[in-house]
Amino acid sequence: MASIKNFKKDLVYTYGALLDQCYIAQMVCPSVDKKAIDALCDEIENTYEEMANRLGGVKGKKDAVKVVKADFEASLKSFSEKLEALVEKK
């Protein structure tokens, strides 16, 4: 159970850090499309809620947690690539 609790904390921290990066990109690169950044922020928030809900239903199922962790890592890579593409587009 402790690992699920720690993983939930990682979700909050990591998705929060991604949102921070989006807001910093808006401030540092004013030429970045604001609507696209806002859409990415919404997508990050929705994914966080989905992951948190999925973890809430998992109790002692290691295989289910592994699937959520794999999805988490894939979403992080996807969001990072999307943000990088938006910033490079400027």
Can you give 24-70 as a three-state secondary structure string? HHHHHCCCCCHHHHHHHHHHHHHHHHHHHHHHHCCCCCHHHHHHHHH
Per-residue pLDDT tens for 46-86?
A: 999 999 888 887 776 778 888 889 999 999 999 999 999 98
**The domain containing residue 17 runs over which residues?**
2-89
Alpha carbons within 13 A on the beta-carbon side of 63: 0
Total domains in the chain come to 1
| pLDDT for position 5 | 83
This prediction's pTM: 0.87
